[in-house]
Amino acid sequence: MSEKKSNQSYRHIWSILCQSSSIDRDTNRLSLSNVLEEITLKQLGDQAAMKEKDTLHSQKPTGIPFDFEIVSVLERLDDKDKGPLTKEAELEFIDPQGNSLLKKNFEMNFLKGFKRLRYRIKMNGLQITINGTYQFSLRMRESKDSSFEEVAKLPLDIKF
């Protein structure tokens, strides 16, 4: 997914889902806390009924409060001293049945003189529908004339 294409000005290096992250002011080192692969929810109504039906409220999305971040690192492939570089990105959260529960568009900005970009997306809740593996899909595009291409897919197992 992260392979360089000959006409791209950036390369996705990695993305990870975690509860929180911090950047040390003195060393500029990034620390990730509580990397997430699975969450187990407790007390979402009648658990016996949910497990029997494997659903929440007839598969209608239900919001859960949950602080987390998606941290990504990208590398600039063109001349870093050329000037700032802005790339459009899209994050989509998809349930186990393939339904889109969230789609968010934003820009990632490389500053002049910097070869790498660390980007943190902070969120404070999720919509969920059923037990299973959900996916965060991070997509980017080279220009406004091109289509979004997936650069990372992050699975999150949700159990209740």
Summarised one tens digit per residue, pLDDT across range 135-155 is 999 999 988 889 999 999 999
- Is residue 3, in this structure, part of any structural domain at all? no
Total domain count, the chain: 1
Instruction: With respect to residue 5, please indicate whether it lies within any of the assigned structural domains.
Output: no
| Alpha helices (runs of H) in 35-125, residue ranges in sequence order | 47-53
Confidence check: pLDDT of 48 > 50 = no
CATH number at residue 117: 2.60.40.10
Host domain of residue 57: 10-159
Report which of residues 7 and 127 the model is more confident about.
127
Asked whether the beta carbons of 149 and 5 are under 8 A apart, the reply is no
The dihedral of CA 23, 106, 141, 19: what is its sign?
positive
Contact criterion met (CB below 8 Å) for 9 and 129: no
Predicted TM-score of the model (pTM): 0.83
pLDDT at 49 over 50: no
User: How many CA atoms within 13 Å lie on the side-chain side of 43?
Assistant: 1
Tell me, rounded to whole angstroms, the distance of Cα 20 from its chain centroid. Answer: 13
Is 46 contained in some domain? yes
Whether 1 maps to a domain, the answer reads no
The position carrying tokens 């969450």 is 39
Query: Per-residue pLDDT for 120 more than 90?
Result: yes
Residue 151, in any domain of the structure: yes
pLDDT of residue 79: 82
* Rounded average pLDDT over 44-56: 49
